Amino acid sequence: MKQDIIKKIEIPEDVTLTLEKNEMNVKGPKGQNRIKIYHPMVSIKRENDTIVLEVKKSSKREKKILNTLRAHINNFIRGAKTGYECQLKICSGHFPMNVSIQSKQIVIKNFFGEKIPRKAKILDDVEVKIEGDIIKVSGVDRDKVGQTASNIEQSTRRANFDKRVYQDGIWIIKKAK
């Protein structure tokens, strides 16, 4: 049976949110996020300190889309308020890896004794710091922080090698939460 679904999201006091057509801007103490949100079946309104997501005569599909949009908006609000951080660990056995940051890339030299350095892309609005054998990736957008950490981890992946035996590489030890 199709029914109307209304979901409300509370906006914290230290976060300012503006909603213009299909674009949402979220500003907080840690930074700013911008997202384009649109689906023909979902109406998005702002009422005082809440955002109201509404679907009329929804099916399972519209309910899934509504909950996905709600999760994205919550992630953007939490990111603008507290930010996200992900940690990676540099693990090398015999050949010592040299990891450095050059403009918008992380360069990994001497991975398994390779002469050609490996590179991983750092996305916009993401800050990367190297402290000893720990790499800290932080930012306001959870998706970008996670994707940058994944880019770094995937750059040290070796195809057709058992990762239980060959444990050298850069591994995610703390996810963006």
Q: What is the CATH number of the domain that holds 129?
A: 3.90.930.12
Instruction: Examine the fold and report which residue of 65, 81, 97 is the final residue of a domain before the chain moves on.
Output: 81
**What pLDDT was estimated at residue 8?**
93
SS3 130: strand
CB atoms within 10 A of CB 144: 20
**What pLDDT was estimated at residue 171?**
92
Q: Do residue 101 and residue 31 come from a single domain?
A: no
Q: Do residue 106 and residue 146 come from a single domain?
A: yes
Q: How many CA atoms lie within 13 A of 124 on its CB side?
A: 3
Boundaries of domain holding 69? 3-81
Q: Do residue 62 and residue 99 come from a single domain?
A: no
What is d(CA 118, CA 78) in angstroms, rounded to the nearest whole number? 33
**What pLDDT was estimated at residue 9?**
93
SS3 73: helix
What is d(CA 28, CA 46) in angstroms, rounded to the nearest whole number? 17
Instruction: Examine the fold and report which residue of 25, 52, 81 is the final residue of a domain before the chain moves on.
Output: 81
Q: Do residue 54 and residue 133 come from a single domain?
A: no
Strands 126-131 and 134-139, by their bridges, are antiparallel
CA angle 106, 96, 87 (to 5 degrees): 45
Q: Find the mean pLDDT for residues 141-151.
A: 95
The residue behind tokens 């674009």 is: 23
Q: Do residue 74 and residue 126 come from a single domain?
A: no
Q: Do residue 12 and residue 77 come from a single domain?
A: yes
Q: Do residue 97 and residue 164 come from a single domain?
A: yes
b/e per residue 41-75 (b: at least 16 CB within 10 A)? ebebeeeeeebebbbeebeeebeebbeebbeebeb
Q: Do residue 63 and residue 110 come from a single domain?
A: no
- Is pLDDT at 45 greater than 80 in this prediction? yes
Confidence of residue 39 (pLDDT cuts 50, 70, 90): confident
Instruction: Examine the fold and report which residue of 50, 81, 112 is the final residue of a domain before the chain moves on.
Output: 81
In the chain, the number of structural domains is 2
User: What's this model's pTM, rounded to 2 decimal places?
Assistant: 0.87
Q: Do residue 46 and residue 120 come from a single domain?
A: no
SS3 70: helix
What is d(CA 69, CA 63) in angstroms, rounded to the nearest whole number? 10
Q: Do residue 126 and residue 72 come from a single domain?
A: no
Q: How many CA atoms lie within 13 A of 109 on its CB side?
A: 5
Confidence of residue 140 (pLDDT cuts 50, 70, 90): very high
Q: What are the φ and ψ backbone dihedral angles of 26, each rounded to 5 degrees? A: -125, 120
Q: Do residue 88 and residue 166 come from a single domain?
A: yes
Q: Do residue 74 and residue 21 come from a single domain?
A: yes
